[in-house]
Structure formats: structure tokens, C-alpha cells
Amino acid sequence: MKINSPDFKNNELIPKKFTCDGEDVSPGLVIESIPQQAKSLALVVDDPDAPMGTWVHWVVYDMPLSSRIEQNSIPGKQGINDFGRRNYGGPCPPSGTHRYFFKVYALDAMLNLKEGLSKKELERFLQGHILEKAELVGLYKRAR
């Protein structure tokens, strides 16, 4: 399985549009080679370079199988990010260049979870259900 974006390449800069300095909308994503036995997808976007530890930007689960996630869309149930909201919160690093990991999971079941789970709660439910995982890394540094 692979994940990429029509909006930025792996290990390259995320355009301003998808950050707190722009429109703060989610980028488009393309998921290739989803396993045939998959029943749903989950997506986590986080920043391991945040000063206080990994910062969660987006949590989505119970996503129907799809090879494409459109810009500024809600592809499934949304969990709580570290901004305290149920939505995509774009890159907004306080200093330096940070890495943003877009992680997609192919699952063997539709988990049928309630909305508003944290990343940590979701990870507990994912255990034993992950068929494959793919990752895309985007970079962002704020202009000062």
C-alpha cells in the first residue's frame, strides 16, 4: 500500500494553503494498492518534532475504502486533535522545519467507533486489525 499527495511530494514542503498560514484545509491524498481484504481505512497526521512531544493534527477512522481523499474533505469519522477540535489542523510549527507524518492504515474491519476519539484511543482499537500501513511525510517551516 502507498500514500501520496497531488499537492506535495514525500519529504518536500507542504504548500502554505494547507497550513495555519494559509487556508488550513487538508491536502488531497491518493492511496494505492489497498489490500483486497481491507474493510475500512484510518488516517492519523502528526508532528513528532513538536517541542512538547508528538502533536496530533488529524485523526480519521471508519473511512470507507477509497483510493482518493479530496482536499478539504471529511473522509470518515473524526477524532480529537491536539488543538482540541474534531477536524484537520494544519502545520503551524513554532520554530524551525517540522515533519508531518500522514499515516494511513488498511483495516480488516469497519470498527464502528463513536466520533471524537483521541489518537491514543484509536491506536488501542487498531490493534489486531491493521493489514497494512503506508506513510507520507511533508515538511513545513513558517516564514517569519
SS3 17: helix
Domain parsing of the chain, residue ranges: 2-140
Percent of the chain with pLDDT over 90: 99
Q: What are the pLDDT digits (tens) for 109-122?
A: 999 999 999 999 99
For the segment 80-90, the average pLDDT, to the nearest whole number, is: 97
Residue 73 burial (10 A CB sphere; 0-12, 13-18, 19+) = middle
The DSSP string of 23-46 is T--PPPEEEE---TT--EEEEEEE
Instruction: Give counts: helices (H), strands (E), the chain.
Output: 1, 9
For the segment 27-53, the average pLDDT, to the nearest whole number, is: 97
- The confidence band for 73, taking pLDDT boundaries of 50, 70 and 90, is very high
C-alpha distance from residue 46 to each of 33, 61, 91, 109 (Å): 23, 15, 9, 23
Q: Which CATH superfamily is domain 2-140 in?
A: PEBP-like (3.90.280.10)
For the segment 73-77, the average pLDDT, to the nearest whole number, is: 97
- The model's pTM is 0.97
Q: Are 38 and 108 in contact (CB under 8 A)?
A: yes
- The confidence band for 143, taking pLDDT boundaries of 50, 70 and 90, is confident
